[in-house]
Structure 1
Amino acid sequence: MRATMDTFQAIADPSRRGILMLLTKDKLSINALAGNFEMSRPAVSKHVKVLYEAGLILINDQGRERYCELKPEGFDEIKNWLIFFDNFWKDKLHNLEHLLNQINPNNEID
């Protein structure tokens, strides 16, 4: 399934991040997920739907239960965004270090 919701909007909600954290341990039914929150099962189902539409989780029907599990490739956009900014700041710090070495080539503290 192709993601239809913005990944960053999906993870903006603390309840949805909580659901994702729970799913790092094991796949869980929507009922099992709902037992971890002080909200109704329909409210948890809505959060699950958002995560599914963002491509962050898979939902599999097993009998009368619907099980959710993480979809690793769904996190690629987040991972790539973080890598970009990690590299951005590393470059900035490297440039600062280079500039400071030019100003004080012996690395002596005055």
Structure 2
Amino acid sequence: MITRRDVFQAIADPTRRAIIQKIAHEPLNLNAVAETFDISRQAVSKHIQILTACGLVQITQKGRERFCEARLEQLDEVTTWVEQSRKHWVSRFEKLDNYLKKVQAKDKNDGTI
């Protein structure tokens, strides 16, 4: 049984990010995905299992083939976190910038610069 993983675990690995990017444009069968990587088909399958467990990939059976389809809406969680983090750090850097301007102005007034 595969345990539930989060999206951040999935995108932490460069191979998994490459798989997502590859199938984002169109669903591909497992062999087509595996052919583009210099790792074993079994290793690619393991990455796809992880992507499936976190909801970024959906596997559908069409005849004898299994196709991987990207479910990019799951990346909204990452987008939300990045935006919140960006706002936090922009605010922190603005405060630092203001502090440095005050220190520089004080130094100019004291004649030390």
Partner of 1:19: 19
Higher helix share: 2
Q: Is the 8 A contact 1:57 1:74 kept in 2?
A: no
Q: Is the 8 A contact 1:27 1:67 kept in 2?
A: yes
Partner SS, residue 26 of structure 1: coil
Unaligned runs of 5+ in 1: 105-109
TM-score by length of 2: 0.77
Unaligned runs of 5+ in 2: 106-112
Q: Is the 8 A contact 1:27 1:68 kept in 2?
A: yes
TM-score by length of 1: 0.79
Looking at structure 1, the residues matched to 92 and 71 of structure 2 have their Cα atoms a distance apart, in angstroms, of 33
Partner SS, residue 86 of structure 2: helix
Looking at structure 2, the residues matched to 82 and 68 of structure 1 have their Cα atoms a distance apart, in angstroms, of 26
Partner of 2:77: 77
How many percent of aligned residue pairs carry the same amino acid?
39
Rg larger in structure: 2
Measured against aligned partners, the alpha-carbon deviations of 1:34-90 in whole angstroms (never above 9, x if no partner) come to 010122222211111110101111222111111112112211221122112111111
Q: Is the 8 A contact 1:7 1:78 kept in 2?
A: yes
How much is the aligned-residue C-alpha RMSD, in angstroms?
A: 2.1
Q: Is the 8 A contact 1:24 1:70 kept in 2?
A: yes
The count of aligned residue pairs is 104
